[in-house]
Amino acid sequence: MGKRSSRDGQGTAVDGLLAQAVGQVVAASPDGLDYALDVGASLLAASAEQWPEVSRALLAHTERTVGRCWSAGWRPADVVRVVRRSLGPAHLALAVDLIAAEGRRHPASSLDRRWHEQLRELAVEVWWDRDAAFLSAFAERHRLDRFALATAALEVLRTWSLLPPVAPVGPVPGQGAPSARPFAGAAVRSAGEPRMLGRIRALLAKAESTEFPDEAEALSAKAQQLMAQYSIDEALLAVGARAEDAPAALRIGVDNPYESPKAMLLDAVAAANRCRVVWAKEFGFCTVIGFDADLDAVELLYTSLLVQATAAMSRAGSRKHKDGAPRTKAFRQSFLISYAARIRERLTEATERTTAEAAAGRHLREDGTSEQLVPDERLLPALAARGQAVDETVGQMFPKLVSQRVRVSDGEGWAAGRAAADRAAIHGRAGAIGH
């Protein structure tokens, strides 16, 4: 783990120099940004002798900048996403390392489960020995000179400094235990993934990797059935234990190309699992609000269906129109809109069927077999109450919402997308996703 060292007079001077450079870059207008970056980077990279102090100062300054992002409702995947959308690969690698440096302040026990998952997916790691050596080591890794690296650092800090507050979806590190509520009435599962989710994740991974459609269908069906039963079991468990269970939230990235149809697909999956979606187009993510087990199901199923949709669109888009012309962006856009619309229909049907089976007492075990139990009269009222709680939470988090329409401009793409959605792996012998 990287080591911090005490600050001397030179270090204090470099701290001020860095703060001045960052301040000027953050305050710069679009027309004056290049000049502010050139001046700031030139001052920071002026001499090799002060470079170690610049390295220390940067990591110390980053702790404050990133900490403000966390307090404003952002999470690791979010701040990395905004860098990826507007800057380059070196900036992205630097952003991950700066998050790692800031993360040294927080013990693992202070982070919730989804925070841990994001750090793991981003491969966040403190790989440098000393903070004074960080910039030199990073420059060597990515083949950057001092000026280019100083410029990249200023650009990342500007991007993060200009982020506005967003609705929080989890506790802030260091300001509450993982079980603390991220907003009024919400609950967060403690760190550590339930065993059922690990099994579901493995089944979906196999379904996406196999070259045999029948095998993918069987694996997806089993995973989807387990997700439905997992959610129902969680709802009944909360009722039986008289637990104070309330909606939570997570963010899922939705980026170009074809961001509108992707958001529609996510909304279709969320609605089938009694969740709601709010799209922040300018930041490239959707906030999904629902109960914890349902959020897990939405994230896993959306990812799997998006893989299927992208593969089907690529196959259809590689062919030509009936008149021999190459298929265009309009075709692919219409394809994905149609795909999302048909998936919504199929999932809605599956939800109604699976809910009826569960209310009648049919229970799916973790091993995929089923058993008939005494019907539980608490299930339908519990699910209705959860739906109402989700709606109320959306109103608390996002009091001002607007809807958006999308247009279909390619009829052939619409037909192809609908056909692909009909082929998507959703249905199983005993039901499907939803509950």
What average pLDDT does this structure show over 162-170?
93
Listed range (3-12, 133-142, 335-344, 390-399) with the worst mean pLDDT: 3-12
DSSP per-residue codes, 170-210: SPPTTSS-TTS-SSTT---PPSS--HHHHHHHHHHHHHHH-
Q: Are 83 and 159 in contact (CB under 8 A)?
A: yes
Give pTM, 2 decimals.
0.78
Residue 405: pLDDT band (50, 70, 90) is: low
Own/partner pairs for 241-247, CB < 8 Å, 24+ apart? 244/187, 245/187, 245/291, 246/181, 246/185, 246/186, 246/187, 246/291, 246/389, 246/393, 247/185, 247/186, 247/187, 247/289, 247/290, 247/291, 247/386, 247/389, 247/390, 247/393
- Give me the percent of the chain exceeding a pLDDT of 70: 74
Residue 57: pLDDT band (50, 70, 90) is: very high
What average pLDDT does this structure show over 345-370?
73
Listed range (178-182, 206-210, 364-368) with the worst mean pLDDT: 178-182
The larger pLDDT score, comparing residue 424 to residue 28, is at 28
Residue 235: pLDDT band (50, 70, 90) is: confident
Q: Please tell me the predicted confidence (pLDDT) of residue 364.
A: 66
What average pLDDT does this structure show over 194-218?
73
Query: 244 pLDDT exceeds 90?
Result: no
What average pLDDT does this structure show over 110-125?
92
Q: Please tell me the predicted confidence (pLDDT) of residue 344.
A: 84
Q: Please tell me the predicted confidence (pLDDT) of residue 408.
A: 42
Query: 323 pLDDT exceeds 60?
Result: no
Q: Are 109 and 178 in contact (CB under 8 A)?
A: yes
Residue 322: pLDDT band (50, 70, 90) is: low
What average pLDDT does this structure show over 270-296?
90
Q: Please tell me the predicted confidence (pLDDT) of residue 255.
A: 85
- Give me the percent of the chain exceeding a pLDDT of 90: 41
The larger pLDDT score, comparing residue 223 to residue 395, is at 395
Q: Please tell me the predicted confidence (pLDDT) of residue 104.
A: 93
Q: Are 103 and 175 in contact (CB under 8 A)?
A: no
Listed range (95-109, 124-138, 179-193) with the worst mean pLDDT: 179-193
Query: 415 pLDDT exceeds 60?
Result: no
What average pLDDT does this structure show over 3-8?
50
Q: Number of helices and strands (H, E) in the chain?
A: 15, 5
Query: 186 pLDDT exceeds 70?
Result: no
Residue 359: pLDDT band (50, 70, 90) is: confident
Residue 190: pLDDT band (50, 70, 90) is: very low
Q: What are the backbone dihedrals phi and psi of residue 253, each rounded to the nearest 5 degrees, phi first?
A: -65, 135
Residue 413: pLDDT band (50, 70, 90) is: very low
Q: Please tell me the predicted confidence (pLDDT) of residue 51.
A: 94
What average pLDDT does this structure show over 392-412?
67
Listed range (90-104, 277-291, 345-359) with the worst mean pLDDT: 345-359
Q: 362, 365, 389, 386: which is closest to 376 by C-alpha?
A: 362
Q: Please tell me the predicted confidence (pLDDT) of residue 346.
A: 76
Query: 417 pLDDT exceeds 70?
Result: no
Residue 182: pLDDT band (50, 70, 90) is: very low
Q: What is the mean pLDDT of the chain?
A: 80
Report the C-alpha gap between 263 and 111 in whole angstroms: 28
Q: Please tell me the predicted confidence (pLDDT) of residue 214.
A: 63
Query: 8 pLDDT exceeds 70?
Result: no
| Structure token digits, residue 10 | 């030179």
- pLDDT tens digits, one per residue of 18-43: 999 999 999 999 999 999 999 999 99
Q: 390, 394, 420, 122: which is closest to 261 by C-alpha?
A: 420
